[in-house]
Every structure is written in structure tokens, then in C-alpha cells.
Chain A
Amino acid sequence: MTSVLEIDKLTVSFSTPDGAVEAVTDVSLSVEAGECLGLVGESGSGKSQTFMAAMGLLADNATANGHIRLDSMDLLSASEKKLNTVRGERIAMIFQDPMTSLTPHMKIGRQLAEVLIEHQGVDKETGRRRSREMLDRVHIPEAERRLDMYPHELSGGLRQRVMIAMALMCEPEVIIADEPTTALDVTVQAQILDLLTEVKDDLGAAIVLITHDLGVVAGLADRVAVMYAGRIVEQGTVADIFAAPTHPYTQGLLACTPRLDVETEALVTIAGQPPNLQNLPSGCSFHPRCPHVFDRCKAERPSLENLSNGQAKACFRAAQEAAE
């Protein structure tokens, strides 16, 4: 299969009063049609910024280098005007907080129809009809009545469904879901994940799922990329990563996930703090927190290397063990 969205050596840096901060360093990723890529990492690991760059939504003080290609079009170098023809139409985003991501003064039906009016120039009636169909499609009960409601009249779960409906309006090829379930309670989370699975199977769209919740990734994603301090440290299929994580950070993350079937006294954590991006440790960024650290980790930075099974990781440990 060919990849729909391809990120090639992306680096995003922010110029701050304290100097430049690199939030994303040398990240390469690709997503295929009908596939769901999970992007996992702690807060500040650069997972959101990677795709903010793809949407052209970086803050004013940010610069992005590298390439982000949607088919043959380079999104990073595209003008704002050209981006606007793509955003919403071919690549859509579902935001983290449904409470604040809908314009408060505009009715649901109007907000949904607006996307179609902007991109496909349909008239208001068609826009309204298709908005209602889309609300039905994301299983919002009484769609007709909801069209005339304001966002604050809906519950969080319903609003997230509306956000998903809005992202789906133009049947995009790529859907970026930036922590779509973080602001919702657990029962609603499950429903939203079901919905996203349906969408993926039905539309054949590529979904990028940005999250720090490994459970969400396990449920929905086909492939996973783990980010730490702006770099991808491990990448592979969900089955491989969850069954046999090779990078100590991934192992740590998985160990932290509370399990119901194992009796534990205390919750496991990864020792130490996520690094300050302005002052990254030498060598491997993870070495101060790594239980398997040895001298080479402090001096040299491991690059992301492909393993035989299609997995990739950035760690010296395997090579070291082989040498011993």
C-alpha cells in the first residue's frame, strides 16, 4: 500500500526568549490509507506538534523544517491559501477538548454545514441535509433537533461526536485525532473509540491517533510510534510493541499501565522527570531515567534502526548485549 501522509525528517523548533527549543527532532513517519497509526508519548514529547505542523497550525514563533507530503503536495511549504483548500477537505483534525473547540454562538447544524459551504460550495439546504446525515452516522440521537442546538446544550460525549462528524464532513483521506478521548469519561471514551473504528473501516481513511493512553492505542491502532523528547524511539505494529517492547522507555510505559489481572501494591512509575527540551541530556535523551544505562548511552545518541520484523528502535542495548 502507498502512504497517504508522509512525514520526512521533520524538525520543529520554537524561538523563545531563552533561545531556540526543539520540540520535534528528525521525525519520519508515514500513514497508509485505512490504517490507524498511534502516536504515544508523555506531555511535551512533541507528538501533537508533529501534526500541528502538518496542519499548518504551529504557533507564530515556530519554524518547521523537513517535508510533510500529502500525496505529492508538500504541506510545509504550501501557502496559507493552498493549505485552506486541503484542511478540512482532505486532512481533518479532531481536537482534544470538545468543550471549547466548537464556536459557542453558532448552532451545530450551521457549524457542520459551514465546512461543506467553504470547501464544496454547496447551498445551505444541502449543507443542512448532509449535516443531519452525518450526525446520524456518528450515532447522535435526534439529529434533526440537535442541528438547532448550541454547543453548550450538548454533553461532552455528544460534542466529541459532533467534532468527529465535522472532521468527516468532506470525507477526508487523513484524520488526525489529537487525544480525542482525554476530556471524556471512561464509558464515553469507549463509545468514541468504537465510532473511530467504524469510521476507519467504513471510510478507508488513515487515522493518526495522538494519545498518552496506551489502552486507547491497543484498542484502535494498527501501528504505534513512541516518542520521547521530540524523537521517535520505537516504532512497530501494535502486536509487536505490546508483546515485545524493545526500547526501555516503551517497556517502562507498558509497566506503568495498571492492570486488573495482576495484584500490585503500588503503581509503577518511570523514575525521574521528562527532560527539559532546552537542556537535553547528552547522548540518548532517556539515559538519566533508563534502568539499563551504560557508558555509550551517555556519549552517543542512538539512531532509529530497523529491526528484522519491521519494528524500529533507537537503543544501543541490543547491540551491547550482542557484543558481550
Chain B
Amino acid sequence: MSDAPIRDSRPGANLSVPNAAALDKAADVEGRSLWQDAFRRLQANRAAMISAIVLIVMAFVCFVGPVLVPWSYEEIDWDILEATPPNFDTGHYLGTDSLGRDLLARILQGGQVSFLVGILATSVALVIGVTVGATAGFMGGRVDQVLMRFVDVMYAVPLMFFIIILMVVFGRNFYLMFLAIGFVEWLTMSRIVRGQTLTLKNKEFIEAARASGGSTASIIARHIIPNVLGVVIVYVTLTIPQVILLESFLSFLGLGVQPPMTSWGALIAEGAQEMEITPRTLILPAVCLSTTLFCFNFLGDGLRDALDPKDR
């Protein structure tokens, strides 16, 4: 092919082609990625931005706060040994629980566990679920059959049974719990992603991608996954609260975090037993938990809008 540009004899056809110097200058402009674009649109969504800031502040306080609090979460104040109201002289800024442990320190520590569970377990679910779902949906045929029957089998195994077996085999481990929850939560994710992929894979742009020589792996990574992301993000924000609640349920059964360690779910369970005497021990962790869940929901909604390029 010759390098000379096609000349168009129609009047004005070549007018819009900028001169060479302008082109060179323009070439330096870096194109914005999908994510940069999404972030700009997210910034315009006030509710989502406030939620994101609240979440970041809460996470920061939970992870850094304990250093500044005079009491540790497991330390029992032997001078008190009962639930007391906030008292600045003893350093119990939010009072103590029924064993005389500092409530503020325990809420912060519980927040660490809940945030970690929510994010790590959901990430496990996200990675496995999206990969399996997109692969099954796009490849179809035997691959799809094998993967989806495996998902069916996993669905049929009772959750508790599965987690108890994991705990027995591998011993009780803080991180194992994240994995166990993640391994259970990816099932629904893979179903959702597979369904989305099935509708996407017959679209013309996938055919066009194949016609221009894209390999299966690159089509899944570049054309399928980004297009299912909107749905996935929404599901992720629904999964995080679910996972946090599941963790508190496990802790309640004695399969999750063990005392003196705690989580928001465990704190709420403890507080519920004494709500008539000291409603504080129930209300404070409950407010923290619901604020977090609330913010995740708003953020997820905002992300969904931001990731849809048509919504600009």
C-alpha cells in the first residue's frame, strides 16, 4: 500500500485533516482508560462519593485507631468487671462490655475483621466466579457442562458441612475462613457471569472480534469480562454485606473468629443478650455495621452507573 493518503476530490473532504504539527502535538495526549473515565463519572455521583469517603474513613479508623486507644481489645479492666457507661477518666471512651473490656477497642477490632472478611472473601468469590462463569459461557459445549455440573454439586453440599470439614482438616485458621466463605460465594457469581456471557457471545461485536483474529483468551478478557463488569459490581456490593453477615453467623456458632477476638457480628450477638441492661453494647456495633453495609450499597450503585459508558 502506498503511504500517500487518499485524496478526495469532493469539496471540503480534506479540510478536516489537521496539519502535521498539530497531529504530532495531539499524539502526546494520552487516552483515558475505561477506569479513569469511570472514576470521573463516579466523582460526579455525590451519594457514591460520600459513601466511598465514609468507608475509607471507617476502614482507616478501624485499622489505625487501636494504636491510639488506651486499652486493647482483649484486656479486661479488673477494676470494673462489668458493663459501665462511657468514662473519660478510666480511658473507656465508649464504656466497657459485661466483662469489663473496652468497647471502643473491641468495635475497632471487630471492624478490622468484618472489613477483611467482606473484602477478601468477596475477592476470592469474584476471581473464581468471573473466570469460571466467563469461560463456561463463552466456550460452551463440554467445558460448560463440566464446570456447571461442578457448580451444581457444590450448591448441593451444605454450607455448614463444607466449612466444618475445612476447619477439621486444616485446623481453625483466621484466613481459612475467608477462603471457605469465598469458595461458597463464587457459585452464584459464576452463574450470573455465565448467563451474561451467553447473551454477549452471540453479539456482533464478538463475531467482529473473532473475524479480526482475536484469540479466545483475549476475547474473554477484553470483550466479555469488561461488558459483564457492570452486573458483577452490583453483585459484589450485595455479596460484601452477605459475607459480613455470614461471618457473624459462623462466629456465633463458634466456627468463625474466637474470643477474645471479635467481629461486628459477634459484638452484636453479645450485645443482643444484654440489650435491656446496656443497649449501648448492641446499638454501637449495629450502627457501625449498618452504616458500612449502607455505604457499600450506595457505592455499588454508583459504580454500576459509572462503568456503563452509555450513561455519560
Contact = CB atoms under 8 A, between A and B. Distances in A.
Contacts of A128: 27, 31
A153 B311 CA distance: 11
Given A132-B23, A166-B212, A104 B6 contact: no
A133 B211 CA distance: 22
Given A141-B16, A144-B26, A136 B5 contact: yes
A60 interface: yes
A164 to B, nearest CB: 12
B209 A93 contact: no
Contacts, number: 124
Interface in A194-217: 198-199, 202-204
Interface stretch (B152-160, B178-186, B222-230): B222-230
A164 B1 CA distance: 16
Interface string A68-97: 000000000000110111111100110101
Contacts of A89: 213
A221 B76 CA distance: 90
Interface residues of A, number: 58
B27 A137 contact: no
Interface string B214-246: 111010001100110100000000000000000
Contact of B222 (A55, A95, A107, A114): A114
Nearest to B25: A144
A142 B141 CA distance: 45
Given A137-B5, A139-B13, A152-B310, A119 B27 contact: no
A171 B1 contact: yes
B226 A105 contact: yes
A166 B212 CA distance: 8
B205 A88 contact: no
Contact of B211 (A55, A81, A171, A204): A55
Contacts of B26: 144
Contacts of A118: 212-215, 218
Interface string B194-216: 00000000011101111111111
A83 B210 CA distance: 10
B227 A100 contact: no
Contact of B309 (A60, A105, A163): A105
B111 to A, nearest CB: 35
Contacts of B29: 144
A243 B211 CA distance: 36
Nearest to B38: A105
B231 to A, nearest CB: 13
A144 B212 contact: no
Contacts of B229: 105
Contacts of A198: 6, 8
A143 B31 CA distance: 13
Nearest to B225: A105
A202 B209 CA distance: 25
A57 B6 contact: no
A37 interface: no
A148 B23 CA distance: 15
Nearest to A205: B1
B140 A60 contact: yes
A97 B32 contact: no
A270 interface: no
Greatest chain A CB density within 10 A among B16, B141, B205, B214 is at B205
B34 interface: yes
Nearest to A96: B204
Contacts of A226: none
Given A104-B309, A147-B31, A148-B32, A142 B16 contact: yes
Contacts of A141: 16
A126 to B, nearest CB: 10
A132 B27 contact: yes
Interface in A92-130: 92-93, 95, 97, 100-107, 109-110, 114-115, 118-119, 125, 128-129
Contacts of A153: 312
A150 interface: yes
B31 A148 contact: yes
Report, nearest first, the 9 A-B pairs whose CB atoms are least far apart.
A88-B212, A141-B16, A88-B213, A87-B213, A101-B204, A93-B211, A144-B26, A100-B204, A101-B208
27 contacts: A55-B210, A55-B211, A57-B207, A87-B212, A87-B213, A93-B208, A95-B207, A101-B204, A101-B208, A104-B205, A105-B34, A105-B226, A105-B227, A106-B223, A109-B31, A114-B214, A115-B213, A118-B215, A133-B5, A137-B6, A143-B17, A144-B18, A148-B31, A150-B309, A163-B208, A198-B8, A202-B1
Given A81-B215, A88-B212, 20 more contacts: A55-B211, A60-B141, A83-B213, A84-B213, A85-B213, A95-B204, A102-B208, A118-B215, A118-B218, A132-B23, A133-B5, A136-B5, A137-B5, A142-B16, A143-B17, A144-B23, A148-B32, A152-B309, A202-B2, A203-B1
